[in-house]
Each structure stands twice: as C-alpha cells, then as structure tokens.
C-alpha cells in the first residue's frame, strides 16, 4: 500500500504547471468562470493544447505507437487534476484523450487509428459527445437518431441535445441507431462537425451561456469509415468507455482548490474564527479527500489493467457530493462573490458543481449501479 506519487509523476506534474503558467493573467476573470465550452476558452485552448503537444504532455498514458509514452494511468489523472482544477484550459480535448482515443485504440481500424489518434496526441482536436437526445437522457438506449445505410456510408437523421462544446468542436463521438431497438442497433460514429447536414443551436444554461447545444442531423452523409467498431455494436463500446468518462475529470482537485480559495476569502472577511464555519469547511474537506481516494482506487485498477468494477460508480457519487459541498459553502457564506464577476474562481467551482450530478450519468444512475453491482440488490419492478 502506497499513497505517494513517484518521481516521474511529480516531474510530469511540474512540467504541466510550467505550461499552465503561460495562461493569460486574467484567466480566472475572463476565461475559467464561463466554463470550458465558452468561445473564448475554446479558442484559447487551440494555442494552449499546441503548447502541451509540443512537450508531448497530452497522452503520456497512451502506448508509444499512438503518440504516448507508455506511462501509467496515473499520469492521465495527474493531467486531469491539473487541468480540471483550473477550469480545463484544454477545453474538450480531454474527451479525446480520456475516452474517445482509448475507444478508437480498442475498436478502430488501422486507418481510423492513423487518422484520429495522432491528431488527439497532437492536441489538434476538440471533441463533443453526441449521446443524449430529447427522449433519451438517462435512458440512453432509448435514442432515436438513425443512421440509414446507403451506398458508401450512412445518412444520419435525428437530433442530440444538451451537447457540450458542439458549436466549436471539430469532431463528434456520435451514437446513432442502425436499426434495432433498445441497446441493439446502437452504433458509434466519428463525425467531423463540418459535415453537411449538421446544424448546431445553443441552449443557454444556468451554469454557462455556452455549454449546452442542440445538434440536428438532416440527411447528414457519413462515409463508411466513420463507423467505429461493428455496425450495431455500439453498446459494447459505450459500456467500455463509460468507466473512463465517469472517472476521468479531476473534479475533487478542483473542489479542493476551490475550498482552499473559499477559506482564504472567509479569512479575509474575518469570519474564519467562527467554529461553525470552520466545521463546515472541514466536513467539505473530508468529502473531497474521500472522493479523491475512491477515484484513485479506480485509477489504481486501470494502472494494473484490471477490469473496471463498481468502484467507478462509488467514486463518481463521492465526487458529486464533494463538488456540491464546496459549492454550497460559497452560497452559504459568500453569495455576493458569485455575482457580477466578483470572484471568478468561486464562480467556476460553483458552475461546475451544478453539472456534477447530471453530467457523465446522473447521480441516481450511479446509485442504481452501486445497488446492482456493489450491493447485489435485485432489480426493481
């Protein structure tokens, strides 16, 4: 049992911080509070990601043949901690590095690997995720968007909703149905967002004006090589990537740094001596560190090539609780700093906590999974 980072991991973190140090001086005021899908941050991400790529920092945990350095899964969580905790300056590059890339490695053709993986490692692609639909959010297998086989490829019709990053992403990891019902028929496609027949409309949200979108497909033609894996074999891919999607972003680290920032503000205001305030902050810290350790348990399994288990869902639920505990402190004790651009750091944590229990699978879905896979309870009627 060992709870410390090794030298290589510490060195990697230090390198990442050198690149982070190049972020604009008004990062917490003008970029981070508006979220990683905001226009300004996404535009800046292209420059920032090129800097990371120039030092081979993006996918160290990938095999060398795909642009990585055969580093362990721990390096993936280190870059996630460093980036997510400051508002994710990579923007949606992380979708490619965390789970779209590994899915392509596992299920893609040689040509797909050649096309996509080097581009991810090179920091060239911002991704979006075409999963949820108006009638298929938590119940993902209820999706209706269809990909009809035609000569040379597929014609896609339907719509996706609550799609983060869509307006400025380069490529979508799309789920669409090629016949079948339920989980059968679901297929995965890698879709350039400039494909003719794709229309993106923004949906302003409470957490960000720029995060959510609706994406419409009207006879959008995808060539045959856009299909990832087997036709109608998409659910297997979803099951594989879902563990990486749910445990990938270092939310606990953002919560921890947000909590440190809250305490700093409370000290400035002279209320830190209040024992209730101190106790609330300590309780939030315990939640954050519990979430961190449960996440690390998942990463430890990945580093050892173990099959993912129920720990993923336990860790995700712990992370949701930690995120909210910290954001709630801002609301309870510093609400005036959440408005009018008063404190971008607080606002960034507040906004990302709002999404914690919904994004990457609702909190209640995590509890369902824990119930079945960890406790072994029978399915409901």
Which residues sit at the interface with other proteins, rule CB under 8 A?
1-5, 74, 260, 263, 267, 272, 275, 278-279, 281-283, 285-287, 289-291, 293-294, 296-297, 299-300, 303-304, 314, 317-318, 321, 364, 366-368, 370-371, 374-381
Q: Which is nearer to other proteins, 36 or 361 (CB)?
A: 361
Q: Which is nearer to other proteins, 339 or 381 (CB)?
A: 381
Min CB(333)–other proteins separation in Å:
14
Min CB(205)–other proteins separation in Å:
26
Min CB(269)–other proteins separation in Å:
14
Min CB(344)–other proteins separation in Å:
21
Q: Which is nearer to other proteins, 25 or 275 (CB)?
A: 275
Q: Which is nearer to other proteins, 155 or 363 (CB)?
A: 363
Q: Which is nearer to other proteins, 5 or 22 (CB)?
A: 5
Tokens representing residue 212 in the block: 């959510």
Do 98 and 80 meet the contact criterion of CB atoms below 8 Å apart? yes
Which residues in 123-158 are b (16+ Cβ under 10 Å) and which e? Answer: bbbbbbbbbbbeebbeebeebebbbeeeeebbbbbb
Min CB(280)–other proteins separation in Å:
8
User: Measured between alpha carbons, how far is 363 from 357 in angstroms, rounded to an integer?
Assistant: 5
How many residues make up the chain in this entry? 381
Min CB(8)–other proteins separation in Å:
12
- Three-state secondary structure string covering 130-168: ECCECCECCCHHHCCCEEEEECCEEEEEEEEECCCCCCC
Do 259 and 285 meet the contact criterion of CB atoms below 8 Å apart? yes
Min CB(300)–other proteins separation in Å:
4
Min CB(295)–other proteins separation in Å:
10
Give, as one character, the DSSP assignment of residue 249. S
User: Measured between alpha carbons, how far is 145 from 268 in angstroms, rounded to an integer?
Assistant: 53
**Angstrom distances, CA of residue 191 to CA of 127, 266, 352, 360:** 10, 47, 27, 20
Q: Which is nearer to other proteins, 25 or 376 (CB)?
A: 376
Give, as one character, the DSSP assignment of residue 215. E
Q: Which is nearer to other proteins, 20 or 303 (CB)?
A: 303
Tokens representing residue 348 in the block: 């960034």
Q: Is 347 helix (H, G, I), strand (E, B) or coil?
A: helix
User: Measured between alpha carbons, how far is 1 from 139 in angstroms, rounded to an integer?
Assistant: 39
Q: Which is nearer to other proteins, 169 or 281 (CB)?
A: 281
């Amino acid at each position: 049992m060992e709870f410390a980072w090794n030298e290589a991991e510490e060195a990697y973190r230090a390198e990442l911080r050198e690149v982070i140090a190049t972020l604009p001086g008004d990062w917490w005021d003008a970029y981070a509070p508006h979220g990683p899908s905001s226009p300004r941050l996404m535009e800046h991400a292209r420059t920032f990601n090129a800097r990371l790529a120039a030092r081979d920092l993006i996918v160290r945990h990938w095999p060398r043949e795909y642009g990585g350095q055969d580093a362990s899964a721990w390096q993936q969580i280190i870059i996630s901690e460093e980036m997510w905790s400051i508002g994710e300056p990579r923007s949606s590059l992380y979708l490619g590095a965390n789970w779209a890339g590994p899915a392509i490695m596992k299920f893609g053709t040689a040509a797909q690997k050649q096309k996509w993986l080097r581009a991810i490692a090179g920091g060239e692609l911002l991704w979006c995720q075409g999963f949820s639909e108006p009638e298929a959010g938590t119940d993902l297998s209820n999706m209706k968007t269809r990909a009809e086989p035609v000569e040379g490829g597929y014609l896609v019709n339907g719509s996706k909703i609550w799609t983060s990053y869509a307006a400025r992403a380069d490529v979508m990891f799309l789920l669409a149905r090629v016949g079948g019902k339920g989980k059968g028929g679901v297929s995965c496609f890698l879709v350039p967002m400039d494909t003719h027949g794709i229309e993106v409309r923004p949906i302003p949200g409470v957490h960000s004006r720029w995060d959510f979108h609706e994406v419409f497909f009207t006879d959008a033609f995808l060539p045959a090589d856009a299909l990832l894996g087997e036709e109608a074999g998409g659910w297997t891919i979803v099951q594989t990537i879902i563990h990486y999607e749910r445990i990938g972003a270092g939310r606990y680290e953002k919560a921890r740094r947000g909590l440190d920032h809250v305490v700093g503000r409370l000290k400035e205001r002279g209320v830190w001596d209040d024992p209730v305030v101190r106790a609330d902050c300590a309780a939030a810290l315990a939640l954050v560190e519990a979430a961190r350790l449960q996440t690390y348990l998942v990463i430890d399994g990945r580093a050892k090539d173990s099959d993912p288990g129920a720990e993923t869902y336990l860790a995700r639920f712990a992370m949701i609780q930690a995120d909210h505990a910290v954001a709630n402190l801002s609301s309870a004790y510093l609400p005036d700093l959440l408005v009018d651009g008063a404190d971008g750091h607080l606002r960034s944590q507040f906004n990302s906590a709002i999404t914690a229990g919904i994004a990457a699978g609702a909190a209640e879905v995590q509890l369902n999974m824990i119930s079945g896979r960890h406790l072994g309870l029978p399915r409901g009627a």
